[in-house]
Amino acid sequence: MNAGRKPVHHAVYDTLADWETGHATAHLARAGYEIRTVGPSTDQVTSIGGLHIRPDLALADVRPEDSSLLILPGGDLWDTSGDLAPFARKAREFLAAGVPVAAICGATAGLAREGLLDDREHTSAVSFYLAATGYQGGTRYVDADAVTDGGLITAGPTEPVAFAREIFRLLGVYEGEVLDAWYRLFHDSDAEAYAVLEQAGGQ
């Protein structure tokens, strides 16, 4: 583990969408980042896919100054209750401290409700999904696979690879042709991209 890098904090909660953050966390870990899971408490949570996860720490104990990035995956609870609102408030704390946040799928709706998308370009599943939250940022919605603005990454549920790409770009994990090759390999199954990654040690 690279001692000079602060951990990446990955939110976990009941109904979290397993498939949305795996590309990001696997390659961040390979790049030397410690991945620390953060739950509402340290009690076990269960993902949509039935994985049981015991968080490393509780949300209340996470401080922006101790982190490189906060990742917020989607989950049914973002739309069916207010249980995850504290994670959106923590995202506000991170962004105010200049520490980036990456939100995908339902987490984007949580950030919309918190007002964090009103003044930033962003994306999600579809524009009317966010419009249903009543937020004020509709004119800043971008129809793209993933968007980064002001230290905040957003993506829809079908774009876990693009989501990871934006995280790698923001943290400087991969850059230039290596970042492009990584995306082409994992998103487009472009076999020629593997040679670029192998040469750069980034596969």
Confidence of residue 200 (pLDDT cuts 50, 70, 90): confident
CA proximity to 21, closest of 147, 159, 188:
159
**Separation of first and last alpha carbons in the chain:** 18
- The answer to whether residues 100 and 189 belong to one domain is no
Which pLDDT value is given to residue 2? Answer: 56
Q: Which residues are known catalytic residues?
A: 105
Q: Are 1 and 32 contacting, i.e. CB atoms less than 8 angstroms apart?
A: yes
Q: What does pTM read for this prediction?
A: 0.95
**Which residue, among 18, 10, 54, has the nearest Cα to 36 in the 3D structure?**
10
Question: What is the signed CA dihedral for 85, 86, 90, 95, rounded to 10 degrees?
Answer: 20
Are 154 and 136 found together in one domain?
Answer: yes
pLDDT interval class at 202 (50, 70, 90): low
Residues 90 and 135 in one domain: yes
Q: Are 68 and 86 in the same domain?
A: yes
Q: Provide the domain count of the chain.
A: 2
Q: Is the pLDDT of residue 187 over 80?
A: yes
Q: Are strands 35-39 and 57-58 parallel, antiparallel or unpaired?
A: parallel
Report, in angstroms and rounded to the nearest whole number, the Rg of the chain calculated over CA atoms: 16
Tokens of residue 61, six digits: 């104990």
Q: In terms of domains, do 75 and 97 share one?
A: yes
Tell how strand 146-149 and strand 152-155 pair up.
antiparallel
Determine the angle formed by the axes of helices 176-188 and 160-171, rounding to 10 degrees.
170
Stated as kind and residue range, the H or E segment containing 103 is: strand 101-104
Phi, psi of 70, rounded to the nearest 5 degrees: -110, 125
Residues 159 and 189 occupy one common structural domain: no
CB 78 within 8 A of CB 107: yes
Q: Which two tokens stand for residue 134?
A: 């009543």
92 and 154 fall within a common domain: yes
What are 126-157's pLDDT values in tens digits?
Answer: 999 999 999 999 999 999 999 999 999 999 99
CATH code, domain with 67: 3.40.50.880
In a domain, 190, yes or no: yes
Do 154 and 198 belong to one domain? no
